[in-house]
Structure 1
Amino acid sequence: MDILSIIVPVHNEEETIEIFYNTVEKFKKEIAAVIHYHFIDDGSTDKTISILRQLSATNDNVHYISFSRNFGKEAGLYAGLQQADGDYVAVMDVDLQDPPELLPQMLREVQAGDYDAVGTRRADRDGEAKLRSWFSSQFYIWMNRISQTQLVDGARDYRVMTRQMVNAILSLSENQRFSKGIFTWVGFKTKYIPFENRERIAGNTSWSFWSLSKYAIEGIVSFSTVPLMFITLLGFVSFGISLISAAFIVIRALVDNNSVDGWPSLVTIILFIGGIQLLSLGIIGRYVAAIFLETKHRPIYITREEK
C-alpha cells in the first residue's frame, strides 16, 4: 500500500497537536494509504516537544524533528519534505484551519494520475481582520502583476504532492525560501479545491501583521526583479525632470535677466531627490542582502532532536 507522509510544522502549539492528530486519525479509513506523521518543532518554548515525544512513543507512525532554535516555517517545511519518506506527501497546519476531511479526496485525485498535486485555497476570508484581509488580497494582485510565477489568491500550503514533485522542490536548496512561489515555480499539474475559511481550533497564531509583511517582501524579492526595473525607470524620470528644470531656469534667466530667490523650492527638490535615492538604496539593499545570505551557504535549519 502507498505511504502518505503528512508534514506538520509547529511552533508553540501544545494545545493543538493532540487534537490535530486525533482529528486526522478519524479519516484514516477513508485514506487509501498508510499515514506517517512528520511534526517539525520550530524551536518552541512551551510543552510542544514534550507532547511530541509522548505522541511518538505511543504511536509508531509519528515522527518529529526539533530545531535548535526558531528558524521559521519555511525551514520547517523544507525539513519536513526532506524527512518525508512517503510515495505521496501532504503539508498541513496543525491548527485545523486546513480541513482534514478534504485529505482523502485530495489523495485520491493525485493517485489517479490526473494531477501531480492537489492543493486548497480559501474561498473567503470570513473571520479575518478586514485590514489584514485587504493587504493579503493586494499582495496576490500585485505579486501576479510583477512576477512570472503566478500565485492563486487564497492558496494555502495545504496540499498533497507526488514524490516526483517533492523531489523537484527539494532540488531548490535556496536559503531564502518562499514555498508558495516554489510550489508554483517547479510546475507540475495542480488542482485547487476551495473551502470556507476556518478559525483556529485552539491557541493563538504566531503570525503577526509584521511577520506577514516580511514574508510578503521575501516572496517579492525571491520571485520578481520588477522593483529593480522600477528604480531604473524612476532614475530616468528624475533625470528627465532635472534636464527640463535646468532648461527652464536658463531660459528664464536669459529672458528676464532676473534671479529669483528659490530656497523653499530648492529644499523641496533636494528632499525629493534624497527620498528617491534612499528608496532606491533600500530596494537594492534588500536584493543585496538576499545575495549576501545565500553566499554564506548556512544550513536552512539545525536539528537538536529527531525521532
Structure 2
Amino acid sequence: MTELTIVVPAYNESSVLDAFHARALAVLDTLGMDGRLLYVDDGSRDNTWELIRGYCADPRVTGLCLSRNFGKEAALTAGLDAVTEGAAVVIDADLQDPPELIPALVEQWRAGYDVVYATRSARAGESRLKRFTAAAFYRTMERLSNTPLPRDTGDFRLLSRRALDALATLRERQRFMKGLFAWIGFRQTAIRYQRDPRFAGDTKWNYWRLTQLAIEGITSFSSAPLRLATWIGVAAAAVSFVYGTWVFTKALIWGDPVRGYPTLMVVILFLGGVQLLALGVIGEYLGRNYTETKQRPLYFVQERVDGDR
C-alpha cells in the first residue's frame, strides 16, 4: 500500500524536470515508507511528457498526460484524484519549493495533522513588486474571506487521506485550490521555510495570470465585492441627493441660476462609472454561475503510464 504520493503538476518544465526528479527520488529514499511520484503534464508544448514517460521506467513513478492545457488548478485536481491510497504532497517542479522539506511535512502528519502547509518566510529571486503584490493579495483575502487563508502560503503542502477524501467531494469548476485546501478544515499546521529562486526556465505566472488568479480567489470565497458595489451605489445616491438639495435651496432663496455644465458632466460620468463598476462585479459572479451550471468535466486524461509499463 502506498503511504505517500508526491503530486507534481508540470507545464513546459523540461529545463528543470531532471534536477527535480533526482532530488525528489533522493527524498523518497530517506522517508522510510512506501512512496511514489505522480507527475501531471498539463498539456505541455515542449518535451515534458517525453521526460515523464522516461521516468516511469522506475516503478515508483506514474505519469498522467492531460488532453490539453487545463490550467494548474485542474492539473492539481487530476493529480489528487489519482491518489487512491495514503497521503499526498503537492509540490511544483520549478524547485522554488525544496523537496528536502517533505520529511518535515511528514513528521507533522505523523504527529496527527491532516493538512501541513509550507509558509514562506522569504521569497528569494522575486522582485519587490511581486513580493508586495503577493503580500497584499494574501492580506486582502484574509480580510474578505469567511474562510481563513494562511498568509504567504502556496500549494506546497501535505494532505492526509481524510483531507483528500473531503477535497474530492468539491467539484466546482471555478477552482481556487488554496482556498479549497483551507475550506475543508481538519487539523492544520504550518512549517516555515525560505523559498528558493527558480532553478531554470521561465515562470508561467505573469502579472495578468496572477491578477486573474486573485480575482478567482476573491470571487470564489467572498461576496464582499457585491456588497462593496451596493455601498458605493448608496453613498453616490446620498451625495447626489444632498448636493441636489443644496442647489435647489440656493436657487430658491438667493435666486442663483442653475449653472455648472462641467460639474454636471463630472457627476454624470462619475455615476456612469459607478454603474459600470457594479455591472462588472455582478458580471463576474454571474459568469461563474454560468460556468458551474454547464457541469463540464474538470479535465480529460489523454494518457497514463504506471511504473515500468
Length-normalised TM-score, structure 1: 0.96
Shift of 1:7: 0.6
Which structure 2 residues correspond to residues 124-139 of structure 1 after superposition, within 5 A?
A: 124-139=122-137
Q: How many percent of aligned residue pairs carry the same amino acid?
A: 39
Identify which of 144, 165, 190 aligns with 1:146: 144
Letter in 2 for 1:111: R
Q: 2:168 aligns with which of 162, 167, 170?
A: 170
Pairing 1:13–2:32 present: no
The alpha carbon displacement at 1:43 in A equals: 0.7
Letter aligned with residue 87 of structure 1: G
Deviation at 1:214, TM superposition (A): 0.5
Q: Does 1:117 align with 2:115?
A: yes
Secondary structure in 2 matching 1:242: helix
TM-aligned CA deviation for residue 136 of structure 1: 0.7
Q: Is contact 2:17-2:93 (8 Å) kept?
A: yes
- 1:6-45 aligned within 5 A: 6-45=6-45
Give the drift of 1:109.
2.0
Report the equivalent of 1:4. Answer: 4
Q: Verify the 8 A CA contact 1:36 1:86 in the aligned structure 2.
A: no
- Cα distance between partner residues in 1 of 2:106 and 2:256: 80
Task: Note if 1:75 corresponds to 2:78.
Answer: no
C-alpha distance in structure 2 between counterparts of 1:73 and 1:204, whole Å: 16
Q: Aligned letter for 1:278?
A: L
- How far apart, in 2, do the equivalents of 1:2 and 1:297 lie? 32
Q: What's the CA shift string for 1:65-93, capped at 9, x where partnerless?
A: 11121110000110001001331111011
8 Å Cα contact 1:32-1:104 kept in structure 2: no
Residue 63 of structure 1, CA deviation: 1.1
Shift, 1:156, TM fit: 2.2
The reply to whether residue 99 of structure 1 matches residue 95 of structure 2 is: no
TM-score computed with the length of structure 2 as normaliser: 0.95
2:272 maps to which residue?
274
CA contact (8 A) 1:41 1:67 kept: yes
3-state DSSP class of the match of 1:16? helix
Give the secondary structure class of the aligned counterpart of 1:89: strand
**Partner Cα separation in structure 2 for residue 273 and residue 162 of structure 1:** 51
What letter is aligned with 1:99?
P
State the Cα distance separating 1:95 from its structure 2 match.
1.2
SS of the equivalent of 1:27 reads: helix
Structure 1 residue 291: Cα displacement: 0.5
Measure the CA separation in 1 of the matches of 2:286 and 2:25. 46
Contact 2:118 2:191 in 1 (8 A): yes
- In the alignment, which residue of structure 2 is the partner of 1:61? 60
Structure 1 portions without partners, runs of 5+:
none
Deviation at 1:126, TM superposition (A): 3.1
SS of aligned partner of 1:202 = coil
**Which letter does structure 1 place at the counterpart of 2:31?**
I
**CA deviation after TM superposition for structure 1 residue 112, in Å:** 3.0
Aligned with 2:191: secondary structure?
A: strand
The residue type paired with residue 178 of structure 1 is: F
Structure 1 pair 258/109, CA: closer, same or farther in 2 (3 Å)? closer
Provide the rounded CA distance (Å) in 2 between the counterparts of 1:27 and 1:50.
23
Where does structure 2 lack aligned partners over 5 or more consecutive residues?
none
Aligned to 2:218: 220
**What is the CA–CA distance in structure 1 between the aligned matches of 2:42 and 2:27, rounded to whole Å?**
27
Per-residue CA deviation, residues 157-204 of structure 1 (Å, 9 max, x unaligned), is 111111100111111100000011111111011111111120112211
Kept after mapping to 2: 8 A contact 1:2/1:32: no
Aligned counterpart, 1:248: 246
Question: What is the CA distance between 1:127 and its match in structure 2?
Answer: 2.1
Query: Quick check: 1:68–1:304 contact (8 Å CA) kept in 2?
Result: yes
> How far apart are residue 253 of structure 1 and its match?
1.5
> In structure 2, what is the equivalent of residue 237 of structure 1?
235
Residue 27 of structure 1, CA deviation:
2.2
Q: CA deviation at 1:2?
A: 5.1
Match of 1:59, SS?
Answer: coil
Structure 2: distance between partners of 1:28 and 1:234 = 54
Q: What does residue 155 of structure 1 align with?
A: 153
